[in-house]
Structure 1
């Protein structure tokens, strides 16, 4: 059965109503997601590891333009499924308005782009535009907590591999967490040195290379996945070179080198290693010319199942445009306020605990800004003999939204040179004296050891797992209009002359006997 395809009207017979409906559809979808677009633009500019994202929409546009003839020939009957997908896009904006988790709206942008393809040209156009539109996923910033966790893990991997490279050159070196000690010189592998600024753009480049590579699917997957170890190796190499030069010539001689290597040199070396992977795979497949295996895939027209008609397009697009416009206006004009329950501030906490001397401390300005808590307290409890027994940190947020959330001790403590000997979640049960799940860590630095408990006290619930806490947060925002909550961390030193069980009993008694009676005033249920 033959099927006619969409033909662009000649200049002498332009169908202005048709173009008007199409333009209105695009405008209302853009208005629906305008807050999400603005947030993307802001995030791309504020995070160096996301600065490549400005180019992702341009690359998608280029891929669509390259296959423009195939696109025109693939336009079929407009699909009501596209209208349903755009309706789901409306729900993602409502989800953001409810939770203020921008990731929901960001994903809705890409989903709605697929919806537009379905609505305009049916499944044949959707299939033709699938990869160019799916490539937009690389413009979406990962959630803040994923960036934090990934950055921390990459710091540790890069530090360990970098130290191994330094030792290969017979340079004495000691690694404590992510702190590299070279005699009198100390180098700290901070977040900026984690390698994420290379990983995210390199992943997007690897996806393009895998798409351009003419080979079996498993080889394409290998091209994409190879970007992760390549990034870690090259970042470790940069750290190693910095350490070796610091040892030989002093840290003052490495500043320019480090800055130089933070930019294009490391990225270009990553690209060179990716080409090595491509050449190896090509040779494995019996192809001597790697350039012959690369190129933008030729897009063949996909025959539509049903013909495109003006009447159907005007009906489907017109109705969808009107519906999306109404909901977009309602969503963006409705007040959205969260409830912040009354509570006493930590400044009102009486620093008097029977049998203990309390010494309140303050975080430095940089740490305060990084944690972003609305209210917090840090205090050391010491016994009459002036020995530290407990360190207590409680932080409270009135609203967990727009990137403001908790920084787990698992992410920040190793940055100070600590290593985790034990790291586990203690579930609820008859043997759990605290009565709720909590994270248990035994960490060490040289001969010093600490036992750490921490958990999240959230609107009458207690969590140890961050992911489950965030899932319940979305539910509480939708049903209770609340996203407040606290994180509580307790620490006690493990003395050389005591057992872990003794430290365990001490910390558990502190929670049950001292903290339990006072917390409800400061952390609303």
Structure 2
């Protein structure tokens, strides 16, 4: 009798094991198909992420994110062996929300939003195909996938400013006289500039990713994990400030023989490596022992077995949600029109127009579909006008983009000092313009005899004006959702200004812009061939 009971239990166990393996095969096939559909339907987004990894050293570490996530899942194989996968319909909400965010990002040409939405859909597909118990067991590997999104450079201007503030303050505390102008400063031994490579954003992004992984692997309490991630966030910022100060001092004390060329970057990475090594060595002293392979919460969830039929209707709805956004966007696609910008000629006092050659200062708008750059002159006054027109917002051709700048950080002649919103007097009562003050790069121990420039910038979106980039971007998304065109342009007027005369120059530019605003509207409104 006992032998018969033992054989019955063994047979039951074998049957349960076979049933569990069959469930994993079935749900694994569904997950594979859903991920394949995501990578095919959203391939431009995936390839766009990979292209940024390849061309930007800041995000080269992202190549490791997916392999690390897979390895972290493999570490959980003992826990996963006890869990029965099940189709989970609430994850459809994540797929739907991800698809909507992706669509909004595409309509507004906001790459970071489309890429985050893509990862949200990848994670949601896992939850839909495998269920909450599996999702809980591999929660961190799934969350780690978000480090693949190449985002974070938006913090670069602020990081550069903080680095310059700390470096100048530390140099003055060291007894060195410093003349500062924006992100440029002069000490007795030479000129220095805080450029993009000095912002520390590379150190910051790499430190947060590696620090988060370290905290997950070495700590068990949420408090310790969050504390270590906070240290990994703050330490590289502080270390970069010290690094910048030490490099300037090293160059100064060596007569500019050291830390002024390629070794500048080498010293920076060596210093960062030493700081990170010290952070991990200290953090390892408070490591906590590993928890059991299968937490109690996962054991309880493992008992919830879904029916085999549920996965198929969850898979069908998931596939429909994955396909919806790309299909809708494709149905809205239009052919690119021919762009022709006419010279704006205003009523009132006449201005002579002159075309400018490539050697003149110009904003950076690499994706514009059409450009017009002119110089207006009257009564010994010169005003520059620059227009960049976008007939359609696409990945590499969009009105609002981090690559569209008034002055490149590495520009050898000019540097951007400050930007502020100013009222556009005599125009619409609530219309403002973005004023930017641009100064020449420091030469010797001062700026020399070169004049600075004052710029006024506006964005035009389907006949509406604004000085705020985010508002212009929202208008573009709104118009596409309403079935309208997504025409957009940036308009910049500028003039040279003597020292102490910038406000007077702004008033002159204000008058010029107000006078030419109707002519600018006509030129932009007729820029697309075939429009009346």
Retained in 2: the 8 A contact 1:436–1:462? yes
1:395 is aligned to 2:388: yes
Q: Which residue of 2 aligns with 1:197?
A: 202
Which of residues 282, 285, 290 in structure 2 aligns to 1:291?
285
String of CA shifts for 1:132-159, please: whole Å, max 9, x gaps: 21121111122xxx62x42222222222
Which of 44, 48, 59 is equivalent to 1:39? Answer: 48
Distance 1:329 1:454 in 2: 34
Between the aligned partners of 2:23 and 2:232, the Cα distance in structure 1 is 48
Cα deviation, 1:49-86, whole Å, max 9, x if unaligned, reads 11111111222222222122223334454322234433
Instruction: Please list, as runs of the form range in 1=range in 2, the aligned pairs for 1:210-249 lying within 5 A after superposition.
Output: 210-212=215-217, 214=219, 217=222, 220-249=225-254
Aligned partners of 1:476 and 1:483 also within 8 Å: yes
Q: 1:12 to 1:233 in 2, by over 3 A?
A: closer
Q: 2:244 is paired with a residue of what secondary structure?
A: helix
Answer yes or no: is the 8 Å Cα contact 2:339–2:369 preserved in 1: no
Q: Separation in 1 of the partners of 2:147 and 2:365? A: 26
- The aligned counterpart of 2:139 is 130
Aligned to 2:118: 109
**Separation of aligned partners in 2, 1:84 and 1:457:** 36
Offset at residue 128 of structure 1 (A): 2.4
Provide the secondary structure at the position in 2 that maps to 1:311. coil
For residue 389 of structure 2, give the secondary structure of its aligned residue in structure 1: strand
Aligned to 2:10: none
1:284 — aligned with what?
none
1:470: how far off? 1.5
Deviation at 1:380, TM superposition (A): 4.5
Deviation at 1:260, TM superposition (A): 1.2
Shift of 1:124: 2.4
Map 1:138-149 onto structure 2 (within 5 A): 138-142=147-151, 147=153, 149=154
Equivalent residue, structure 2, for 1:520: 522
Asked if structure 1 preserves the Cα contact closer than 8 Å seen for 2:344 and 2:523, the reply is no
Choose which of 369, 378, 384 in structure 2 pairs with 1:374.
369
Match of residue 68 from structure 2? 59
Task: Show the counterpart of 1:153.
Answer: 158
Residues 340-364 of structure 1, C-alpha deviations (whole Å, 9 max, x = no match): 5665325x55799946555543455
Is 181-190 or 42-51 further displaced after alignment? 181-190
1:477 paired residue number? 480
CA distance in 2 between counterparts of 1:497 and 1:196 reads 35
CA distance in 2, matches of 1:512, 1:97: 33
1:337 corresponds in structure 2 to 333
Question: Using the alignment, how far apart are the partners of 2:41 and 2:421 within structure 1?
Answer: 41
- Greater alpha carbon shift after TM alignment, 163-172 vs 322-331: 322-331
Answer yes or no: is the 8 Å Cα contact 1:25–1:317 preserved in 2.
no
Query: How many residues of Structure 1 are paired with residues of Structure 2 in the alignment?
Result: 498
Tell me how far apart the structure 2 counterparts of residues 27 and 418 of structure 1 sit (CA, whole Å). 45
Give me the whole-angstrom Cα distance separating, in 2, the residues matched to 1:260 and 1:354: 58
Q: Which residue of 1 aligns with 2:9?
A: none
More deviation in 198-207 or 67-76?
67-76
Change in Cα spacing, 1:135 to 1:177, as seen in structure 2 (3 Å) is same
- 2:470 and 2:359 map into 1 onto residues whose CA distance is 28
Aligned to 1:283: none
Q: Give the Å deviation of 1:321.
A: 6.3
**TM-score (norm: length of structure 2):** 0.77
2:265 matched residue in structure 1: 259
User: Are the aligned partners of 2:345 and 2:516 in contact in 1 as well (CA < 8 Å)?
Assistant: no
Which one of 452, 457, 460 corresponds to residue 454 of structure 1?
Answer: 457
The one of 298, 304, 307 equivalent to 1:307 is 304
Which digits, 9 at most, give the CA deviation of each residue in 1:104-129, with x for residues without a partner? 44223332333234333432222222
Q: Which runs of 5 or more residues in structure 2 are unaligned? A: 1-12, 441-445, 528-532
Q: Is the 8 A contact 1:230 1:273 kept in 2?
A: no
Distance 1:214 1:53, change over 3 A: same
Q: Aligned pair in 2 of structure 1 residues 7, 129: CA closer, same or farther (>3 Å)? A: farther
**Which of 65, 77, 86 is matched with 1:68 structurally?**
77
CA distance in 1, matches of 2:323, 2:510: 56
The aligned counterpart of 2:508 is: 506
When residues 523 and 249 of structure 1 are mapped into structure 2, their CA distance, relative to the original with a 3 A threshold, is farther
**Retained in 2: the 8 A contact 1:152–1:411?**
no
Distance 1:211 1:432, change over 3 A: farther
SS at match of 2:490: strand
Matched residue, 1:437: 432
Secondary structure of the 2:305 match is: coil
SS at match of 1:226: helix
**Given that residues 32 and 93 in structure 1 are in contact (C-alpha distance below 8 angstroms), is that contact kept between their aligned partners in structure 2?**
no
Query: Which residue in 1 is equivalent to 2:417?
Result: 419
Normalising by structure 1, report the TM-score. 0.78
CA distance in 2, matches of 1:12, 1:518: 68
Contact 2:364 2:407 (C-alpha < 8 Å) held by counterparts: no
Distance 1:261 1:318, change over 3 A: same
